[in-house]
Structure 1
């Protein structure tokens, strides 16, 4: 029987429990991606709060590409030293930390008139309407190298793993999705071709970091017309299982998915939690790699059910830990009362630069 609070070995990593803080955009980094005291404070609270592993908000791999303001950066060696201080601090609390790395693409409204935005094809983003410039093969190679450079910096900075973000409608997700990938070369058409860039990114990362833990975040489905299907997602999962990925992080949806966006609202009871678990469970049946699932998970009872009725090994939460970083320790102490998070998605709403992401904690530690 799997327990939430038991030490778990995932390859080279030893986790003190099965709870993972899923990646989320905090809007607390400097404009150029550097850490701030406020962002360090947030991660310190998470580490002290008892979660087994933190996956950071996505960090940009190329200096002129940010889908949102206030993102962390990993596009230059200058970031390594400041992240060493972060990883050392997190490790003091017996907590692991991985960095999520990403290229955003056309799912953005940030500085769109000031930069060239790449995409697989000249198709407007279904949520934001931004039309990207189709990537040449040379540009694809440049991006692959940028991912490899970024992963090498992640390892050098003392992180415990690196996560490739290929979900939620960002660039690598756009290549996987027929709706936005209309290419007729070796990067378009079949799911084998649409996943080619992802395979190349992974191969370059492995070449750079060896057996350093590498995770892959993918959608189970896009939940949009002509989007990634579950069958295609299963193909990608099985492929990366054979390639040696360490963790498959299963999510779903994009910002064009209506009520099935990645961060669904109004999670008012257990029946509305874990809305990607049914897909992750089917994937876990078909692969040997560790499967992590996220999406609307709020209560220990639901987590225990997911862990013990499926092959899923790890469970991710994001919004509840912004509202209540100490939630894992509260559960461990025996207090399993309702979480503070009300699934309002206020953490995605525009706020003054440097404000705490959760609307339920507007004054915490950030007044100075």
Structure 2
């Protein structure tokens, strides 16, 4: 019988358990993406809390754009020393750390937005109101190189790997989504074409970082749009990327900029009222885990330890990522490991996304 506290090997990386801290919007870096004492403290607390691996909040790969203010940057070598301080701190707790990389595209809350936002096609984003420029092939090559260089910096800073943010409607997710990708060239149309830009990025990162560096992707199980990425296409995309050197896949779901997705609670930010509603994307993740040979990480709505144990032993899903519960209780995994199988305090209210930086509304109310 498998347990959530099994020691496992992810490619060449030993992990002390199957729990990941999922990436979240932290809003604690400087406007230029530099780390702050506040941000170091968040990661110190997360590593101390007992997870096997931390996925950072996304770091933007190009100075010209960042989808939200006060998120981390990795677009210049100057960032390497401060990130090395972060990885050394986390590794002291026998916790691995992977940097999530992003280009936001029209999925941006930055005000004012960058002068020229890229997209696969000139399709208006319903959330931001931005209509991006359609990327020329030369732009795609620039972006591929930016991701590769960012991954190289992450490696030099001591990260155990990188994760491409290919979910939720950010640029790479838009390439996968027919609603946003209307291209008629080799980057549009079939899923084999729509995943091509990500495949090129994976190959470029592999050349930049060598064979042992971990490359993951966060991808939607489906977009939950009538003209979005389907479950079958998502599996096909992962199979293609596996052949290019992808090491693991994190499964999420939903385009956050689509009003119907948000109104109908189909995204990873949906509420959780009972155990039956937990682990939102488990069915797709289980199907994917049967179809590929790389580890599958289930994210979104993971709450109770007994539910995750049941999924672990009834499917080939390998890891479980938690976000909101660990914002509320950073030491939750350590408590579970000690034998306290308590229910998490998190009520999935989404009020953790505070303008002053991510923090639990329940804890703010108690301390206030």
- Class of the TM-score when normalised by the shorter of the 2 chains: over 0.9
| Superimposed CA distance per residue, residues 245-287 of structure 1 (whole angstroms, 9 cap, x where no aligned partner) | 111111111212121012112x121101001011010000011
**1:342 and 2:344 matched:** no
Q: Which runs of 5+ in 2 are unaligned?
A: none
Partner of 1:239: 240
Structure 2: distance between partners of 1:364 and 1:34 = 30
Structure 2: distance between partners of 1:363 and 1:342 = 14
**1:293 and 2:298 matched:** yes
Conservation of the 8 A alpha-carbon contact between 1:21 and 1:55: yes
Partner of 1:251: 252
Structure 2: distance between partners of 1:49 and 1:109 = 31
- Give the superposition deviation at 1:107: 1.2
Partner of 1:86: 86
- Give the superposition deviation at 1:44: 0.3
Name the SS for the 1:224 alignment partner.
coil
Structure 2: distance between partners of 1:364 and 1:48 = 22
Name the SS for the 1:347 alignment partner.
coil
1:262 to 252, 265, 268: 268
| Superimposed CA distance per residue, residues 174-204 of structure 1 (whole angstroms, 9 cap, x where no aligned partner) | 0010000001111111111111111111111
| Superimposed CA distance per residue, residues 65-104 of structure 1 (whole angstroms, 9 cap, x where no aligned partner) | 1111110000000000011111111011110000000000
Give the aligned length.
Answer: 362
Name the SS for the 1:288 alignment partner.
coil
Name the SS for the 1:362 alignment partner.
helix
Go from structure 1 to structure 2 and tell me whether the alpha carbon gap of 1:112 and 1:120 turns closer, same or farther (over 3 Å shift).
farther
| Superimposed CA distance per residue, residues 109-144 of structure 1 (whole angstroms, 9 cap, x where no aligned partner) | 312444211100010113333211111111111000
| Superimposed CA distance per residue, residues 211-241 of structure 1 (whole angstroms, 9 cap, x where no aligned partner) | 2011011111000120000111011111122
Conservation of the 8 A alpha-carbon contact between 2:155 and 2:209: yes
- Give the superposition deviation at 1:356: 4.3
Structure 1: distance between partners of 2:365 and 2:46 = 17
Structure 2: distance between partners of 1:134 and 1:97 = 34
Structure 2: distance between partners of 1:147 and 1:192 = 20
- Give the superposition deviation at 1:23: 0.7
Conservation of the 8 A alpha-carbon contact between 2:65 and 2:114: no
**1:362 and 2:368 matched:** no
Name the SS for the 1:283 alignment partner.
helix
Q: Which runs of 5+ in 1 are unaligned?
A: none
Partner of 2:97: 97
Name the SS for the 1:129 alignment partner.
coil
**1:326 and 2:335 matched:** no
Conservation of the 8 A alpha-carbon contact between 2:25 and 2:358: no
RMSD of Structure 2 on Structure 1 (CA): 1.5
| Superimposed CA distance per residue, residues 305-359 of structure 1 (whole angstroms, 9 cap, x where no aligned partner) | 11100000011111111111000011111112221111001123x523xx44322
- Give the alignment's TM-score, normalised by structure 2: 0.95
> After alignment, is 13-22 or 327-336 more displaced?
327-336
